[in-house]
Amino acid sequence: MELLYEGKAKKVFSGSLPGTVRVEFKDSATAFNGQKKSEISDKGIVNAAVSARLFAWLSDHGLSTHFIEQQDARNLVVEQLTMIALEVVVRNVVAGSLHQRTGLNEGTALDVPIVEFYYKNDALGDPLLNDDHIQLLGLASPDLVAQLRQEALRINQVLTPFFNQRGVSLVDFKLEFGWNRAGDLKLGDEISPDTCRLWDTISGERLDKDRFRRDLGGIEEAYQEIYKRVMQ
């Protein structure tokens, strides 16, 4: 199959059926806009399986995703989407850049989730945008921004108890959306320890990509732990 795109963590190939693509998950890891790079053993296998499980869970709860099936350990078959150039981040707990921008202590639970939008532009470092910036750049209409916010919060309402039941706190996570051939808005990309902050509910241990970003060690073990819990 034709290679359509290769990114930091995935390869996208043409699909066997019209309107589909095959996504291969790599073991490559990057952070800080590609400045830090490494290989994490079996990361692609974990991320493919976790994404498939979570996409299926969301679909079972009435949310629309691009997921069709898991082809093998590293490959998902999904609908081909025309992606919106916005990353939608939902935050339930203060961590990462929210801590840096506000000075609030990491680990502070938020009374209500915060939704943020980031411009998907590597050259600019994926900057945080407000609604006026989005309009200025022509990235989405006000109605679409409202729809993305609503969908992200619905996804949060479904995923938070899923993780809580498995002893994991869903601290924050990134979502990407796009349009399929029929013009339907669908959740795309992946949902995995690469795109979520996941902390053990009791110990607070980080079980996600922050272990790589912060040189905490035990990254493979953390990903495998999330795999075991999610696949229960």
* Average of per-residue pLDDT across 7-28: 96
Q: Indicate if the pLDDT at residue 132 is higher than 70.
A: yes
Given a cut of 80, whether residue 62 has pLDDT beyond it is yes
Per-residue pLDDT tens over the stretch 29-47: 888 776 788 999 999 999 9
Mean pLDDT of 123-137: 97
pTM of the model: 0.95
Q: Is 167 left (phi over 0), alpha (psi -120 to 50) or beta?
A: left
Residue whose tokens read 């200025």: 136
Q: Which residues pair with 199 in a beta bridge?
A: 169, 206
State how far the Cα of 102 lies from the Cα of 97, in Å rounded to an integer: 8
Whole-angstrom distance, CA of residue 67 vs CA of residue 56: 7
Domains of the chain, with CATH numbers? 3-79 (3.30.200.20), 82-218 (3.30.470.20)
* Both structure tokens of 48: 């493919």
The fraction of the chain above a pLDDT of 70, given in percent, is: 99
Q: Assess contact for 86 and 131: CB atoms under 8 A.
A: no
pLDDT score of 34: 64
